[in-house]
């Protein structure tokens, strides 16, 4: 079948030199229409495709961008967040002619062993790194610019380009929503504060409460690890402390929280209001979860776009961008209940 096809052999078949074939392939101007057509026909007939290795050897570009998912978030990989993110990254890679390589490190050992390969110039054109953790050792090694990198999420290092979502603003939105509905004993199930997303959502929520002259009571906060079961466990602990509303820092954890409540026959939103974060579980809960939606796919796509700009030199690092979030009102906060929510009941010193 298709084999041994080279510029040279195509040229021979079309009766031209290899340079001309190269010009046709790269859509360069200086080729007469008839020659161009003839060459294209031969290419079509033979099914010739240029050898990428040879091409990248001379051009210095590989056409490959890498997506690195560090080992510590590995266990979270099953959160639909990553599926969406990958979809967004893939969607933006294909049109730009890039191939996406996935680096899913199993553990620290593998990470440090394979890491050199990932940042070595000539292997990848650029890198997207998901960095949900603070003090990422990978980031430290990148700053000195071996290869263009864009981080998804806020890195806690300077000089690194990134795309983040407005975690603080979104969490504040959640706080305001709960306040405006009259809830009094407002709690939170947080994400790990060792991740910038977790830290930012906590900060934002506290700030949002402050805008309504409220504070987040110490005993009304539990943290999870982004998993469904951690949300379930956290909510079981909170129930005894009787919050009337809880902000859960991820939808997956919120599903766990709802499960815990249903198990105890606590009604949502009548007995307790729940608001999530992510916007990833639109129809997976009964009642439908009120949440803060972040544009996950777009975040991934935007990261690739910025990376392409970095690679082409159109932009110089570091650059950053914050994606907007929005409140999506569902049924778990009682916003749509006919009568206004409790206002000013529930007192506690």
Residues that bind its own copies (CB under 8 A): 1-3, 47, 49, 51-54, 56-57, 62, 64, 67, 74, 77-78, 80, 82-84, 86-87, 90-91, 94, 99-106, 110, 114, 116-117, 120-123, 144-146, 228-229, 256, 259, 262-263, 283-286
Q: Which of 300, 284, 288, 296 is nearest to 324 (CA)?
A: 296
> Does the protein bind DNA through residue 37 (CB under 7 A)?
no
In a 10 Å sphere around its CB, with 0-12 CB exposed, 13-18 middle and 19+ buried, how is residue 310 labelled? buried
| Least separation in angstroms between CB 80 and its own copies | 4
Q: Would you call 165 helix, strand, or coil by DSSP?
A: strand
- 158: part of which helix (H) or strand (E)? none
Angstrom distance (rounded) from CA 286 to CA 274: 12
| Least separation in angstroms between CB 44 and DNA | 15
Distances (CA, A) of 234 to 249, 259, 271: 12, 11, 17
Strand partners, 66: 101, 127
> Does the protein bind DNA through residue 46 (CB under 7 A)?
no
Phi, psi values for residue 24, rounded to 5°: -60, -45
Residue 300: both structure tokens together: 């991934």
Angstrom distance (rounded) from CA 323 to CA 304: 14
Q: How far apart are the first and last CA of the chain?
A: 82
CB-nearer residue toward DNA: 219 or 312? 312
16 binds, among DNA, its own copies, none (CB under 5 to 8 A by kind): DNA
> Does the protein bind DNA through residue 18 (CB under 7 A)?
yes
| Least separation in angstroms between CB 308 and DNA | 18
Give the residue, chosen from 37, 41, 45, 57, that forms a contact with DNA under the rule CB under 7 A.
Answer: 57
19 binds, among DNA, its own copies, none (CB under 5 to 8 A by kind): DNA
107 binds, among DNA, its own copies, none (CB under 5 to 8 A by kind): none
| Least separation in angstroms between CB 91 and its own copies | 6
17 binds, among DNA, its own copies, none (CB under 5 to 8 A by kind): DNA
Helices 33-46/7-14 angle, 10° precision: 120
Q: Where does this chain bind DNA (CB under 7 A)?
A: 4, 6-8, 11, 15-20, 22-23, 25-26, 29-32, 35-36, 50-51, 54-55, 57-59
């Amino acid at each position: 079948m298709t084999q041994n096809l080279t510029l040279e052999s195509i040229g021979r078949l079309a009766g031209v030199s290899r340079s001309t074939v190269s010009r046709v392939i790269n859509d360069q101007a200086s080729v007469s229409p008839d020659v161009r057509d003839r060459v294209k026909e031969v290419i079509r007939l033979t099914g010739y495709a240029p050898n990428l290795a040879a091409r990248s050897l001379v051009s210095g570009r590989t056409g490959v961008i890498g997506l690195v998912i560090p080992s510590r978030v590995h266990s979270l990989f099953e959160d639909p967040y990553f599926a969406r993110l990958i979809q967004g990254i893939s969607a933006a890679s294909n049109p730009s002619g890039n191939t996406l390589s996935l680096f899913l490190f199993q553990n620290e050992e593998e990470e440090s062993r394979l890491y050199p390969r990932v940042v070595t110039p000539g292997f990848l054109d650029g890198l997207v790194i998901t960095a949900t953790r603070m003090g990422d050792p990978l980031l430290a090694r990148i700053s000195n610019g071996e290869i263009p990198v864009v981080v998804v999420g806020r890195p806690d290092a300077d000089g690194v380009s990134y795309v983040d979502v407005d975690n603080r603003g979104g969490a504040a939105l959640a706080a305001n929503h709960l306040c405006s509905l009259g809830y009094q004993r407002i709690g939170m199930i947080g994400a790990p504060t060792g991740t910038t997303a977790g830290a930012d959502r906590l900060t934002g929520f506290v700030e949002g409460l402050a805008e309504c002259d409220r504070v987040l009571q110490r005993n009304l906060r539990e943290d999870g690890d982004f998993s469904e079961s951690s949300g379930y466990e956290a909510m079981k602990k909170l129930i005894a402390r009787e919050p009337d509303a809880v902000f859960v820092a991820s939808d997956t954890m919120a599903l766990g929280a709802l499960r815990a409540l249903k198990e105890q026959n606590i009604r949502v939103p009548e007995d307790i209001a729940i608001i999530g974060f992510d916007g990833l579980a639109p129809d997976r809960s009964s009642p439908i979860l009120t949440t803060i939606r972040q544009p996950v796919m777009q975040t991934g796509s935007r990261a690739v776009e910025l990376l392409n700009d970095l690679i082409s030199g159109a932009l110089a690092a570091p650059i950053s961008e914050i994606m907007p979030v929005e409140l999506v009102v569902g049924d778990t906060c009682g916003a749509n209940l006919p009568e206004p929510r409790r206002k000013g009941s529930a007192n506690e010193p």
